[in-house]
Every structure is written in C-alpha cells, then in structure tokens.
Amino acid sequence: MVFERSTLALCLRANEFGRSDKLKNYVSASVLSADMLELKNEIKKLEKSRIDMLHFDVMDGIFVDNITFGLPVLKQVRAATDMTLDVHLMITDPMKYIDSFADFGADIISFHIESESDTAAVIDRIHERGLKASVALRPATPVESVFKYLSDVDMILVMTVEPGFGGQSFIPETLDKVRAVRNKISELGLDVNVQVDGGINADTAAAVRAAGANVLVSGSYLFAAADMAAAADSLREDR
C-alpha cells in the first residue's frame, strides 16, 4: 500500500529540509522513548510541541542486538500524522527494504555505511523514490568513510552513542567526527545537514551545535520534559 500525502505537505518538507543558503536547526523526536501504549497521543503531543520530525528507529536484531519497529508500526504512525518521518535503518541489508519504507510513509531514510548493501546504490534508490537520503556511521567508524558521498546525500548521521538502545550517555569523542564532517562539507561548498543521535539534551546540544550539527535527535529528554516545546527550543537554541 502506497500512502498518498498532500502535494503541499510534501513540498513543504522538501523546501524546509532541502538545500538552502543557511541550514536551519531541527529537532527530531525519537519514538523509541515514547509510551508505546499511548503512541497516538504521544504523536499529538509532538505536533503540539512544534517538534520538527519524528525519528523512527528500525532495528533488525542482527545489525544491532535490539529489535524495534517495522513496517506495520510505520504504517500506523503515517496514518496518524503528517509530521516528517525521519526513518533510521539499523539493519543488515537496507537496499532490500527501501521501497517498502518509502511506500509506508518515510520522508527521510538514514542507513548505515557499515551495512552490507552498496552505499551508492542505496542513496540512488532513496532519491529515485523522492525521499531525502542520509548515511549514518557508528562512533568507531572512521568519519572519512562518508566523505566521498557528501555531494550525493541530504544528510550525514553521526551516532553519538552505540546504536541499538535508547537512554545511553553521550560519547564526547564523537564531537570530533561531527566537526570533521561539517568541515569537509564546508570545504566542498555543500550545505548538507548533519544529524546527531544519542544522549542529546540541553547540555550536549550546545556542544554538538558548536561542532556543526543542525539536526538533533532526542528521546528521553523530550518525552520526560514537563514542557516538551520548551525542551525542544533549548535544543534548537536559535529559534
């Protein structure tokens, strides 16, 4: 089943997250930290709190030890909201599933350079489906491995914790990777977004923004906040 969304909504997403003279700061809320029994209400809370994106972690139990959400859950989430769906595939063979995640409502797909699929081919397929493409890397992966793809992607996702489980502490050494990828993007004259995921709160947000990240994934910090909108603003800083 292919989900039909309004042309206006798709154009807004493409324009807001596309390439521009000045990259904006965005907050992507990790649904991994949401109350799964109240997911529809949690999504409404995200919308009311002016969260930019919903971050949807997909784990297959092979690429990482954990198993999380799949296509049936994405289908329900897409039916419940018009928010930008920021899908992060932590799976062994992402190419096998690009069409399915596109059909079920993803707007942005991040996949890992450490996966078994051909990186360039996956990027091409994501773009062929009209979606934004992002390459992710683990903390231990050399940041230089993504440099040759910078002119082809919309975003680079630097994991600031080991992928697989929510609630981990931020790894300070990953700031060097954020800084290196942002410097390379600037050197090449590109305006690719840089996303960070893991241990992001008001304190670590300042550090990753200073290093060059502009898309911040946050889970427990947002969902546990008494005022989610204020918490999101603290991550964006300049809004």
Contact indicator for 97, 91 with CB cutoff of 8 Å:
yes
Quick one: average pLDDT of 167-191?
94
Residue type, position 13, single letter: R
Does pLDDT of 117 surpass 50? Answer: yes
Choose between 189 and 20: higher pLDDT: 189
Does pLDDT of 116 surpass 80? Answer: yes
Which segment of 9-13, 147-151, 209-213 scores lowest on mean pLDDT?
Answer: 9-13
Instruction: Please indicate whether residue 103 is annotated as part of the active site.
Output: no
Quick one: average pLDDT of 200-225?
96
Which segment of 71-85, 129-143, 158-172, 217-231 scores lowest on mean pLDDT?
Answer: 158-172
Does pLDDT of 29 surpass 50? Answer: yes
Does pLDDT of 216 surpass 70? Answer: yes
3-state SS of the chain?
CCCCCCHHHHHHHHHHHCCCCCCCCEEEEEHHHCCHHHHHHHHHHHHHCCCCEEEEEEEECCCCCCECCCHHHHHHHHHHCCCEEEEEEECCCHHHHHHHHHHCCCCEEEEECCCCCCHHHHHHHHHHCCCEEEEEECCCCCHHHHHHHCCCCCEEEEECCCCCCCCCCCCCCHHHHHHHHHHHHHHCCCCCEEEEECCCCHHHHHHHHHHCCCEEEECHHHHCCCCHHHHHHHHHCCC
Quick one: average pLDDT of 84-105?
98
Q: What pLDDT, on the 0 to 100 scale, is given for residue 14?
A: 43
pLDDT tens-digit map of 30-82 = 999 999 999 999 999 999 999 999 999 999 999 988 899 899 999 999 999 99
Q: What pLDDT, on the 0 to 100 scale, is given for residue 8?
A: 32
| Closest by CA position to 86, among listed 124, 119, 46, 49 | 46
Q: What pLDDT, on the 0 to 100 scale, is given for residue 168?
A: 72
Percentage of the chain lying above the pLDDT 70 cut: 89
Contact indicator for 110, 146 with CB cutoff of 8 Å:
no
Q: What pLDDT, on the 0 to 100 scale, is given for residue 4?
A: 45
Look over the chain and give the mean of its residue pLDDT values, rounded to a whole number: 90
Length of the chain, in residues = 239
- Please compute Rg for the chain using Cα positions: 16
Instruction: Please indicate whether residue 197 is annotated as part of the active site.
Output: yes
Q: What pLDDT, on the 0 to 100 scale, is given for residue 164?
A: 73
Quick one: average pLDDT of 191-204?
95
Q: Which entry of 52, 57, 86, 107 is annotated as an active-site residue?
A: 57
CA distance 223 to 231: 9
Contact indicator for 134, 110 with CB cutoff of 8 Å:
yes
Task: For residue 167, report the phi and psi dihedrals to the nearest 5 degrees.
Answer: 80, 10
